[in-house]
Amino acid sequence: MEKLKEEKYQVERRLERISDEKERKEQANLENCRLFSKWDDALDTLNFGGKYLSNPQIAKLVSESLHYRDGKVYDLDGFCILPNHAHLVCTPLEESKNRYFSLSKIMHSLKRHTARQSNLILNHSGQFWQHENYDHFVRNDAELERIIKYVLNNPVKAGLIDDWTKWKWTYCKYDM
C-alpha cells in the first residue's frame, strides 16, 4: 500500500509539470484509471488487516445506508460490498437551484454513520474506513455501463464467486 501511495505521489508531481491544461487533464484521467486498477487489485488480494465488511451485520448496515441515501442526496446506480472495500456508483442530486450535494459531504456522512455503527457491532473504536476515495466523473452512457459492470463483477475478479449475481452484497438498478 505504501508503494502505491508513493506511486500516486510521483504521478501527481509529473502531472504538475504538464503546462497544457487539456493534456494535463487527459493524462490525469488516464493515470487515475491506471492507479485505481492497481489499488483495486491490491485490495482484492490483501491478506492482512480487517475484512470487517465480510461480517454480514456490517455488510447489511452498509447496504442499507447506501439505499437510505438513494433519492435523498444521490441517485443510486449500483454498488458492491466486498470483504475489505466497497464500490459505489451514484449521481449526486440537486440540493438547491444549480447546486448539487457534494460527493465529499455524501461520503463523509456515509462513512461517519457506518463507521460509528460498525465499531459498535465490532466493539471497536477509532478509524474504520480509509480516508481515500476514488472519485471519477462519468462522461457518457457507455462509460457508465462499463463502470457498473466492473463494480458488479468485482467479486468475480477477486475470486470470491464465479457469477456476480451470486454475490449477496451487490445492487444495480439496471438490467445487466
Integer Rg of the chain from CA: 17
Kind plus residue range of the DSSP H or E element containing 81: strand 74-81
Phi/psi for 161 (5° steps) reads -150, 175
Distance of alpha carbon 155 from alpha carbon 79, whole angstroms: 11
Q: What pLDDT does residue 176 have?
A: 79
Give the pLDDT mean for 76-86.
94
pTM to 2 decimals? Answer: 0.77
pLDDT at 15: 83
φ/ψ of 70, rounded to 5, equals: -65, 125
For 86, other C-beta atoms within 10 Å of its C-beta total 20
- Count of all residues that appear for the chain in the document: 176
pLDDT value of position 57: 97
Q: What is the mean pLDDT of the chain?
A: 88
Which residues pair with residue 90 across a beta bridge? 76
Task: Please say if the pLDDT value at position 174 is more than 80.
Answer: yes
Residue-wise pLDDT tens digits, 151-169? 999 999 888 999 999 999 9
Q: Which CATH number fits domain 50-172: 3.30.70.1290, 3.30.2270.10, 3.40.50.980, 3.20.20.70?
A: 3.30.70.1290
Looking at residue 29, its pLDDT comes to: 75
Query: Which pLDDT score, from 0 to 100, does residue 166 have?
Result: 96
Phi-psi domain of 70 (left: phi exceeds 0; alpha: psi -120 through 50; beta: other): beta
DSSP letter assigned to residue 70: B
Q: Which of 36, 22, 19 has the alpha carbon at shortest distance from 85? A: 36
User: For the segment 29-79, what is each residue's pLDDT rounded down to a tens digit?
Assistant: 777 767 767 666 666 666 555 789 999 999 999 999 999 999 999 999 999
Rounded CA-CA distance 82/52 in Å is: 9
Collapse the DSSP code of 166 into the 3-class scheme (helix H, G, I; strand E, B; otherwise coil) and give the result: helix
Alpha-helix runs per DSSP H in the chain = 2-16, 21-45, 56-69, 103-122, 141-152, 154-157
User: In the numeric block, which cell numbers belong to residue 2?
Assistant: 505504501
Looking at residue 3, what is its pLDDT? 76
Q: Where are the domains of the chain?
A: 1-45, 50-172
